[in-house]
Amino acid sequence: MEMFISNLFEDMPWLAYLLVPGASILLGLAVRWILFAIFKLYNSKKPSVLKEELLTHLKAPTFWFLPLLFTYLTLPYIGLDSFWHKLLEMLIIVNLAWLFITALGALEEAVKHTFNVDGVHQAKERKVLTQLRFMKSIAQVVIATIALASILWNIPTAKQLGETILTSAGVLGIIVGVAAQKSIANLITGFQIAFTQTLKIDDEVVIEGEFGTVEDITLTYVVVRTWDWRRLVLPLNYFNDKSFVNWSFASRRLIGSVYLYVDYTFPVAELREKFLKLLKNHRLWDKKEADLLVTDSDSRAMQLRATFSAKNATDVWNLRCDIREQLISFIRENHPNALPKIRMVDLQAV
C-alpha cells in the first residue's frame, strides 16, 4: 500500500499529504454518521434515557475521534515525519479522555432523570445522586491524570524532566506532602460524605446561620443555595470540623410551629377549631401532625403554640407564615379585647 501511494504521487508528494489525510477525515466523518444513524434507529425502536443522553453528549467528541484515528492509521503510507505521528497520538489521547468524561456525564444525567420524574428527591435517591456525583469527580480526575501521563510519555523532553524531578524526590516529596495535606483531607472527607451520607444533594441545611439547599458536592467544596439564591461555597473539610443542621438527614418531613400570645379571657377552644379548619383546607399541610396547646403563661398573657407538619422545609416555612397571618387576623377581628394587655389599677380609687 505504501509503495502504491509512493508511485502514484511520485512527482507530486505534496498532493499525497493533502489527499490521503483529507480522504481519511471524510471517511471518519462518514463512518461516524453511519454509526450514529444506526444508534438513533436502535434508540427509536427501544428508547431509553441513557441512549438519548449518550447521543447528545457524545456528538462533539466523536466528531473528532474517528477522523483523527483514520488519519493516524494512514500516515505511515505517505511517509510523514514522526512528529506528526506523535502529534496525532496526543490528540487521540485527549479526544479519548474527552469522550470518556462526556460518557460519564451522560450516565449521570440519565440517573438524575430517572430519579427526578416526580420532581422530588427522596433520601434513597439523593444518596445515590451524591455518591454518583462524587465517583464521577474521582473518575474524571483519574481519566485526566492517565491522559496527561500518556501525553508526557510521548514527549522525550518530558521524560528527561521526569528523571530530573526524581533526582530531587526527597525535597519534592516534602513540598508536595505539605501542599497536599488539605487536598488529601478534602478527599477523605468527600468519601465520608458520599458513603456515610451526612450530607446529600438537595439536603436542606442550616450552616453559619443560613438556611439553604445543597446544590453541588465536588472533590474540594460544597455549594449551598440559600433561600435568596445566593451561594455558600464551603470546603469539604468544613463539615468534619464544624457542626451543622441537616433538616432532611433521614426524611424531608418537618414540624413547624407558630407562637401566639393572648389574654387569659381568650377562648382557646375556638381558636383551635379555626386552626384545624385552616389546616384542613391548606394545600401545604401533609395531614400528619396538627395541634394547638397552651404552652406557657405569665402575669399578663398565655402563650399558645400551634404545630403542624409539611413535606419539606420550604413548605413548613410558607405554611408557618400563612397560618400565623390568618390566626392573628382571626383574633384581631373576632376577639380584639383578648389581645395581650397590661392591666393598670388606679390606687386612688382603692
The per-residue pLDDT for range 110-154, each reduced to its tens digit, is 887 776 544 455 666 766 777 777 788 888 888 888 888 777 777
Q: Is the pLDDT of residue 169 over 50?
A: no
The angle at the Cα of 221, spanning 183 to 144, to the nearest 5 degrees, equals 60
Q: Number of C-alpha atoms within 13 angstroms, CB side, residue 187? A: 9
Say if residue 195 is in the same domain as residue 133. Answer: yes
Cell of 317: 416555612
Say if residue 201 is in the same domain as residue 272. Answer: no
pLDDT band at 86 (very low <50, low <70, confident <90, very high): confident
Q: Is residue 135 part of a domain?
A: yes
Q: Is residue 104 part of a domain?
A: yes
Say if residue 109 is in the same domain as residue 189. Answer: no
- The CATH number that applies at residue 329 is 3.30.70.100
Say if residue 75 is in the same domain as residue 179. Answer: no
pLDDT band at 186 (very low <50, low <70, confident <90, very high): low
Residues near 239 by beta carbon (within 8 Å), at least 6 away in sequence = 189, 193, 198, 199, 222
Say if residue 277 is in the same domain as residue 197. Answer: no
pLDDT band at 199 (very low <50, low <70, confident <90, very high): confident
pLDDT band at 74 (very low <50, low <70, confident <90, very high): confident
Give exposure, 78-102, as e/b (b: 16+ Cβ within 10 Å).
bebeeeeeeebbbbbbbbbbbbbbb
With beta carbons less than 8 A apart as the criterion, state whether 103 and 55 touch: no
Say if residue 131 is in the same domain as residue 37. Answer: no
Quickly count: other Cβ atoms within 10 Å of residue 155's Cβ: 13
Q: Is residue 350 part of a domain?
A: no
Q: Is the pLDDT of residue 183 over 70?
A: no
Of 210, 233, 252, the residue at which a domain comes to its end is 252
Cell of 263: 389574654
Report the distance separating Cα 124 and Cα 130, nearest Å: 10
Say if residue 75 is in the same domain as residue 197. Answer: no
Query: Which range has the worst mean pLDDT, 73-77, 260-264, 266-270, 290-294?
Result: 73-77
With beta carbons less than 8 A apart as the criterion, state whether 105 and 137 touch: no
Q: Is the pTM of this model over 0.95?
A: no
Say if residue 17 is in the same domain as residue 111. Answer: yes
Say if residue 208 is in the same domain as residue 316. Answer: no
Q: Which domain holds residue 73?
A: 1-115
Q: Is residue 349 part of a domain?
A: no
Say if residue 224 is in the same domain as residue 305. Answer: no
- The CATH number that applies at residue 188 is 2.30.30.60
Of 203, 224, 252, the residue at which a domain comes to its end is 252
pLDDT given at position 81:
67
Say if residue 77 is in the same domain as residue 134. Answer: no
Q: How many domains does the chain have?
A: 3
Say if residue 177 is in the same domain as residue 199. Answer: yes
